[in-house]
């Protein structure tokens, strides 16, 4: 049997970089992970509620987090969004929401104690800086394609048509793409797996720049899963 592995973890250090960059003592490592998860969840929830995308698809590709001793820098990699003057106010609101989320969950208390021991005068929280980076070709990102397919299936579009449309959108910006959907496709009683591929997708080549995403969503028939590999 073939040995399955996540294409992103398989290529870390060659063509893939970590989405979180920080150092922590072993005893505080779990708290750092929880902090990352809260930051990402808070940003995702805020964007879903307050920002409208022209395409109707949530265009967040990934959220990168870099932590220093006195600064947390969050980079939101996003598509379908024009950076206008109005967006600066929303970024400020988003920063306040994230800081509020960290304060209410008590994550900052530990760092306040450490700061007090190191410098009794400074008791301020770490600074939070949020930046937005826009993608030129949003449909090159597998998570955005997966959300596009999910929206199509929720609107009762046939799954083969939705898969072919996603491949057409990504074809100009990629060398190859593979789309796989699993679950009760078309409302059938028996769950199955359907996939389609265009171009080359060399999963065994470590130096090949493969981007991958898995996405689950709820339909009236049950949960469907989408996996997309982009070369």
What DSSP line would sit under 81-97, residue for residue?
----HHHHHHHHHHHHH
Q: What is the DSSP string of 142-206?
A: HHHHHHHHHHHHHTT--HHHHHHHHHHHHHTT-SEEEEEEEESGGG-SS-EEEEEEEE---TT-T
Share of the chain above pLDDT 70, in %: 85
Q: What pLDDT is stored for residue 113 in this prediction? A: 41
Domain range enclosing 53: 17-134
One domain for residues 130 and 145 = no
Q: What pLDDT is stored for residue 55 in this prediction? A: 61
Q: Of the residues 134, 166, 186, which one is the last residue of a structural domain?
A: 134
* Cα gap 79→137, rounded to integer Å: 8
Looking at the structure of the chain, the number of domains it has is 2
One domain for residues 126 and 66 = yes
Q: Tens of pLDDT along 50-69?
A: 777 666 677 788 999 999 88
CB 98 within 8 A of CB 130: yes
CB 224 within 8 A of CB 217: yes
Q: Please give the model's pTM, rounded to 2 decimal places.
A: 0.81
* Cα gap 162→168, rounded to integer Å: 10
Q: What pLDDT is stored for residue 110 in this prediction? A: 46
Q: Of the residues 112, 134, 156, which one is the last residue of a structural domain?
A: 134
One domain for residues 26 and 113 = yes
Domain-located, residue 34: yes
One domain for residues 148 and 98 = no
One domain for residues 96 and 108 = yes
One domain for residues 32 and 118 = yes
- How far the first Cα of the chain sits from its last, in Å, is 24
Mean of the per-residue pLDDT values of the chain: 83
């Amino acid at each position: 049997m073939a040995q399955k592995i996540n294409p992103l973890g398989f290529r870390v250090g060659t063509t893939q970089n970590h989405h979180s960059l920080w150092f922590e003592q072993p005893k505080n490592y779990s708290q750092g992970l929880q902090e990352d998860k809260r930051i990402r969840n808070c940003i995702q929830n805020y964007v879903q509620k307050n920002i409208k995308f022209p395409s109707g698809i949530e265009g967040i590709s990934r959220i990168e987090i870099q932590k220093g001793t006195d600064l947390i820098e969050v980079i939101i990699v996003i598509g379908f969004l024009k950076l206008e003057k109005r967006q600066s106010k929303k970024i400020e609101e988003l920063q306040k929401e994230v800081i509020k989320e960290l304060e209410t969950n008590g994550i900052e208390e530990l760092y306040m104690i450490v700061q007090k021991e190191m410098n009794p005068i400074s008791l301020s929280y770490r600074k939070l800086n949020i930046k937005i980076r826009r993608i030129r070709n949003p449909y090159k990102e597998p998570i955005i394609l997966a959300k596009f397919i999910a929206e199509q299936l929720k609107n009762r579009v046939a799954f083969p048509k939705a898969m072919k449309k996603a491949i057409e959108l990504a074809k100009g910006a990629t060398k190859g793409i593979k789309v796989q959907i699993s679950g009760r496709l078309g409302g059938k009683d028996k769950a199955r797996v359907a996939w389609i591929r265009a171009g080359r997708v060399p999963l065994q080549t470590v130096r090949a720049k493969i981007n991958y995403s898995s996405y689950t969503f709820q339909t009236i028939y049950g949960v469907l899963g989408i996996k997309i590999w982009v070369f």
